[in-house]
Amino acid sequence: MAWSNPDRGALFVVTGPSGVGKSTLIAHLMEHIPGIRFSVSATTRAPREGEQDGVHYHFLTPERFAELVGDGAFLEYAEVYGRRYGTLLDPIIDALDAGESILLDVDLQGARSVRRDYLDAVRARVGRSVDDAIFVYILPPSIAVLEERLRARGTDSDEIIAGRMAKVAYQLEGVAEYDYLVVNDDLDEAREALTSVFRAELLRRSRRQSWVDAVDAELEARRNPA
């Protein structure tokens, strides 16, 4: 049986330190499970060459961004180097209702914000509840191995690597807050583990009521043949 989207999609929050191979794992995941896409963030920065509104970002004026903040339209938002970035709730809700799943690639701070605000923000926005978000952390085999990988790239100075490792220490402090942990030691095994997490969550009975209804209908037809 070919894979199909669930009746209602899921919000996945994925976190991992720089150098852990998160982008490679996510790219493989999205190739092998249809119906999963990245959330398109909103930003007040100007589009760069080749960027399209609604594809790469939702490009907003600072005034419009502020209006949406006041309207409770963001799941989370932050200011980085004088530009504002945020995750809009409405596109997420629309996608989940259509059976698509959304992947948020965020750091520990962003994940904590989603965990704290997601359910209440949706209730305030649309007046109903939704399923919990699912939190997945991509781990290195060890902190030492992660540092080795960063140095093996040969693209960063010792100072930059030291800064990255300081951030890693902070990011790893929140590991116990996540639902699933995937260790990227062997790439093939990590790919399989991450894909299995997503498939299992999307096969939950609560997301597949149409399958339950189909079974019930077939049983009823057998009990009462025409």
Q: Is residue 4 part of a domain?
A: no
Q: Is residue 170 part of a domain?
A: yes
Q: Is residue 5 part of a domain?
A: no
Phi (first) and psi of residue 209, to 5 degrees: -60, -30
Kindly list the distances between the CA atom of residue 194 and the CA atoms of 12, 32, 100, 181, 201, in Å, as whole numbers in the listed order.
Answer: 11, 11, 18, 9, 11
Strand pairing category for 134-139 and 180-183: parallel
> Residue 11's beta-bridge partner residues?
102
Query: Which residues, given as ranges, of the chain have pLDDT below 70?
Result: 1, 154
pLDDT digits (tens, 9 = 90+) for 13-65: 999 988 889 999 999 999 999 999 998 889 999 998 999 998 889 999 999 99
Q: Is residue 148 part of a domain?
A: yes
Q: Is residue 85 part of a domain?
A: yes
Domain total for the chain? 1
Residue 26 sits in a domain whose CATH number is 3.40.50.300
Residue 1 has a pLDDT of: 59
Q: Is residue 221 part of a domain?
A: no
Measured CA to CA, the distance from residue 9 to residue 7 in angstroms comes to 7
Q: Is residue 172 part of a domain?
A: yes
Tell me which residue range forms the domain holding 200.
11-216
Q: Is residue 1 part of a domain?
A: no
Measured CA to CA, the distance from residue 56 to residue 42 in angstroms comes to 9
